[in-house]
């Protein structure tokens, strides 16, 4: 079962990818994690990727695909995997398709966690961080005392990326680059839309229901 998780920034796709991968008992694959792993372990592709990252240049798609192919050819991906954060552009989507075809694999389901623009902005701009690593949200997950961390009494701060302006820019980039991917997958009939506004546990249940529905239809599990 190959599942791709799509959604705007702050849609909760990272969290939901991890949950669905655990339930399916398949690896959760994020290209960011694979790069970090390869760099930490000084692999050949890791060394190559590091050259770009050190210079602050985007890693070329060709290299990302190669690193991803190495990962999904490992034995633990035989039953499938959940792909999180990739593809982000229509070019990446096409390269991914070609690579999967080479590997005799295909995407079974693309889950689209949909949240409104206002919700994305509200989620991102409401984030507050503590230097101890604990994260809060002024509306959905506030600290007991405003501005103060529950765990260490540290003063909370807003990351420079968590402003309305940056959130708007990221949302625009998402729409421009990622929504065309959804259109391609929709045409293929593999998109499942999930309401991302519900509480995390409910979203996870909704995703799981769709997976079961798919499995039943195709005689899986």
Catalytic residues: 13, 88, 127, 159, 170
Which window, 47-55, 121-129, 148-156, 169-177, contacts Zn ion (CB under 5 A)? 148-156
Q: What is the DSSP letter of 155?
A: B
Residue with tokens 């990446």: 92
Which tokens is 50 given?
A: 């590091």
Cα separation, 124 vs 179, whole angstroms? 20
- Single out the residue of 135, 152, 164, 176 in contact with Zn ion (rule: CB under 5 A): 152
Which tokens is 206 given?
A: 């909704």
Can you list the positions of beta strands (E) in 23-118?
Answer: 28-30, 81-84, 109-114
- Single out the residue of 44, 151, 183, 221 in contact with Zn ion (rule: CB under 5 A): 151
CB of 156 to Zn ion, least distance (A): 8
CB of 154 to Zn ion, least distance (A): 4
Helix, coil or strand: residue 165: helix
Q: With binding defined as CB under 5 A, does residue 14 bind Zn ion?
A: no
Among 43, 112, 111, which Cα is nearest to 71's? 43
Contacts of residue 218, defined as CB under 8 A and 6 or more positions apart, other chains included, come to 108
Q: With binding defined as CB under 5 A, does residue 154 bind Zn ion?
A: yes
Q: 115 vs 149, which CB is nearer to Zn ion?
A: 149
Cα separation, 80 vs 15, whole angstroms? 18
Cβ–Cβ under 8 Å, residues 166 and 120? no
CB of 136 to Zn ion, least distance (A): 9
- Single out the residue of 105, 134, 137, 197 in contact with Zn ion (rule: CB under 5 A): 134
Q: 143 vs 196, which CB is nearer to Zn ion?
A: 143
Question: For Zn ion, how many residues bind (rule: CB under 5 A)?
Answer: 7
Cα separation, 135 vs 40, whole angstroms? 26
Q: With binding defined as CB under 5 A, does residue 142 bind Zn ion?
A: no
Q: With binding defined as CB under 5 A, does residue 149 bind Zn ion?
A: yes
Q: With binding defined as CB under 5 A, does residue 130 bind Zn ion?
A: yes
Q: Contact residues for Zn ion (CB under 5 A)?
A: 130, 132, 134, 149, 151-152, 154
């Amino acid at each position: 079962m190959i599942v791709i998780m799509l959604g705007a920034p702050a849609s909760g796709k990272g969290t939901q990818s991890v949950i669905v991968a655990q339930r399916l008992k398949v690896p959760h694959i994020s290209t960011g994690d694979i790069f970090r792993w390869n760099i930490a372990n000084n692999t050949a592709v890791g060394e190559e990727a590091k050259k770009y990252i050190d210079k602050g240049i985007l890693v070329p798609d060709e290299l990302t695909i190669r690193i991803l192919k190495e990962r999904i050819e490992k034995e633990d991906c035989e039953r499938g995997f959940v792909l999180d954060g990739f593809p982000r552009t229509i070019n990446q989507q096409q390269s991914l398709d070609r690579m999967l075809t080479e590997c005799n694999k295909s995407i079974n389901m693309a889950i689209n966690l949909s949240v409104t623009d206002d919700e994305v902005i509200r989620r991102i701009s409401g984030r507050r961080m503590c230097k101890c690593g604990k994260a809060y949200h002024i509306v959905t997950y506030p600290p007991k005392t405003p501005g103060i961390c529950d765990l260490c009494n540290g003063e909370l701060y807003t990351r420079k990326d968590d402003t309305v302006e940056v959130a708007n820019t990221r949302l625009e980039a998402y729409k421009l680059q990622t929504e065309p991917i959804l259109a391609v997958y929709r045409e293929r009939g593999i998109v499942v839309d999930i309401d991302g506004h519900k509480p995390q546990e409910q979203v996870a249940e909704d995703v799981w229901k769709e997976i079961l529905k798919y499995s039943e239809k195709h005689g899986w599990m």
